[in-house]
Structure 1
Amino acid sequence: MKQIQLDSLQMNVYETRELMGQAAGKAIEDTINKILLQKNNIRIIFAAAPSQNEVLAYLKNSKNIDWSKITCFHMDEYIGLPIENPALFSNFLDKHLFDELQLSTFYKINSLNEIQDEINRYEQLLREAPIDICIMGIGENGHIAFNDPPFAKFDDMHFVKEIQLDNISRQQQVNDGCFKSIQEVPTHAITLTIPALISAEKIFCIVPGPTKTEALYRLIEEEINENMPATILRKHVNALLFTDESCYQKG
C-alpha cells in the first residue's frame, strides 16, 4: 500500500480492488465505533454505485457495527423512474447493504413527489444535525454526487437541488452496467450539493478501476476548481481517498 498526501487529503493506493475495499471498509467500521463511544446515533451519507461494491459488501458482512444507532442518507436520485426500478440509488443501497440490516433510519429521496417539496424535505432532514460520515466516489467527469461541471458550486447556498445530468455522467451509468443505453438514463436528478457532502466530519472516498484513471489524475494534478469538483476533497481536513493500482498506475 502506498500513501500519498494531496494537500489535506490522504490517498491510499492498494494493489487490488479487493484489498482497497477491505481497507476502506475496516476504516469506516473503526470510525463508526469510535464515534459511537461519544454519541448514541451516527448520521452517514452513502454513495450508490458499483464503485462502492467492495466497501458495501464489507460493511454488510461486518459483525462489529450496531446499525440500530445509524441514520442513513443517500446522495442523489434520478427523476422519472418508477419506484420499483432497480437503477434507483435507494434501491441499489437496499440491495447491496440495507435489506438485511436493522437500521435506525434510512431516509430515501422520493423523486416521485413534487420535486421542490422533496428537495425542501430532504434538506431539512440533512440540516437537523451534523453529518458524521460521508462515503463517496468520484465520477468519470470529476463530479461528486451529481454535481457535474460546469454547474458544480463550492459555495452553494443549498444542501439539495435538482440538476440536469451531463452526457458524461449519463454514459458512465451505461459503462457501470446500470442501464443498457444512454437513452434509458434519466436526464435529471436530485442531488446533495458539495457543501452538504463536505459538511461531514469524516469523508471516505473510494475510487477503483481504470475508468476513473483520468478523473483521479485530474484530482491530483489540477488546481482546486469547480470544473473538477472532486478537487474540493483536497481541502477537507479529515478525508481519506482509497484507490487501487488499476486506477492509479496510469495517472
Structure 2
Amino acid sequence: MSFTSFALRAHEDRKQMGRAAAQSAARTIRDAVDQRGSARMIAASAPSQLDVYRALAEEPDMPWDRVTVFHMDEYLGLDIAAPQRFANWLIEHFVGRVNPQHFHPMRTESEDRGMGEYVDLLRAAPVDLVCLGIGVNGHIAFNEPPHADLDDAKPARIIELDHVSRVQQVDDECFATLEDVPTQALTLTIPTLMAAAHLVCAVPGPQKAAAVRALVEEPVGADWPCTVLRRHGRCEVHVDREAAALLGSTA
C-alpha cells in the first residue's frame, strides 16, 4: 500500500503539495482497482484541494472508469443549480475532468430520505480513499468545533455552521458576503470518514497554520476535530511551507 501510518509531509509550495498528495491518492486508487476491480473515494469540495485535483486529473493511466466518487458535505438552502453547492463545485473542478464510473451527489431537497439513500450507497462497499482538507477552525468535512462528535453513532447529520467556517467561505471567495453563506449543512460524520482505508489530506496556506499546529500538538478532541486524524493508521497530511509555519522543526 502507499502508506502505513499517520504522516505529516511539508512541501515548498502548493503545487508540490498537490502533486505529492495526488500521487498518494492515485496509488491508492490503482491498488484498489488492481485488487478488487474497482475503487471508491470520498472527495472534499474546497479551494484548498484544487492543486490536488489538478494533479490527480493529470495522473497517467488512471482507471477512472472503475472509480465511484462521493462527496462529504453539502449546504442546505441553496438552489440545486447554485455553483456554490459542493456537488456542483466538485463536478466543475474534479469529477467533470476525470469522468469516473459513478458520481453520487448528496440530495438535500428531502433531507432525511436523501441522506438515508446516500448513506446506503456509501455503505454498500468499503471506501478506499478520502481526499480531504482541514478548516481554519480545525473542522474536517463540516464536523465543527467544539461540538464535533469523534465517536458519532450516526453516519451523517445536519449541522449548524460555525461562524469561522462561514467567514472562511467568504475569504475563499465562494460567497460574496457572510449573509450569503448558508447556516446549515449535511455532513458525513467523523467515524464515517475515518472508516476509509486511506486518508490523503492537503492543507495549504498561512490561514491554516494554526490548525496544522493543533493537528500535531493539541490533544485529540472536539476543540480541534482534525486531531482525530492522528488515530488513523493510514493517513497522510500534506502541507505547504506557509501552513507549516508554526511547526518549527516538527515537519
CA contact (8 A) 1:60 1:98 kept: no
| Alignment counterpart, residue 83 of structure 1, candidates 80, 84, 101 | 80
Given the alignment of the two structures, is residue 240 of structure 1 paired with residue 245 of structure 2, yes or no? no
Given the alignment of the two structures, is residue 106 of structure 1 paired with residue 103 of structure 2, yes or no? yes
CA contact (8 A) 2:28 2:128 kept: no
| Alignment counterpart, residue 121 of structure 2, candidates 116, 125, 130 | 125
Partner residue, 1:151: 147
Letter in 2 for 1:45: I
Partner residue, 2:169: 173
Tell me the secondary structure at the aligned position of residue 12 of structure 1. Answer: strand
Number of residues of Structure 1 aligned to a counterpart in Structure 2: 243
Residues of 1 paired with 2:91 and 2:144: CA distance? 25
Residues of 2 paired with 1:177 and 1:102: CA distance? 26
Tell me the secondary structure at the aligned position of residue 77 of structure 1. Answer: strand
CA contact (8 A) 1:9 1:240 kept: yes
Residues of 1 paired with 2:156 and 2:6: CA distance? 25
Q: TM-score, normalised by structure 1?
A: 0.94
Letter in 2 for 1:211: Q
Given the alignment of the two structures, is residue 49 of structure 1 paired with residue 51 of structure 2, yes or no? no
Deviations 1:202-249 (A, max 9, x none): 000100100101111111110111111100000100000000111102
Give the alignment's Cα RMSD to 1 decimal.
1.0
Given the alignment of the two structures, is residue 16 of structure 1 paired with residue 13 of structure 2, yes or no? yes
- Please state how far the C-alpha of 1:107 moved relative to its aligned partner: 0.5
Letter in 1 for 2:207: T
Residues of 1 paired with 2:176 and 2:137: CA distance? 20
CA contact (8 A) 1:47 1:74 kept: yes
Partner residue, 1:5: none
Letter in 2 for 1:53: L
Q: TM-score, normalised by structure 2?
A: 0.94
Partner residue, 2:136: 140
Residues of 2 paired with 1:48 and 1:100: CA distance? 14
Letter in 2 for 1:85: A
Gaps of 5+ in 2: none
Letter in 2 for 1:97: F
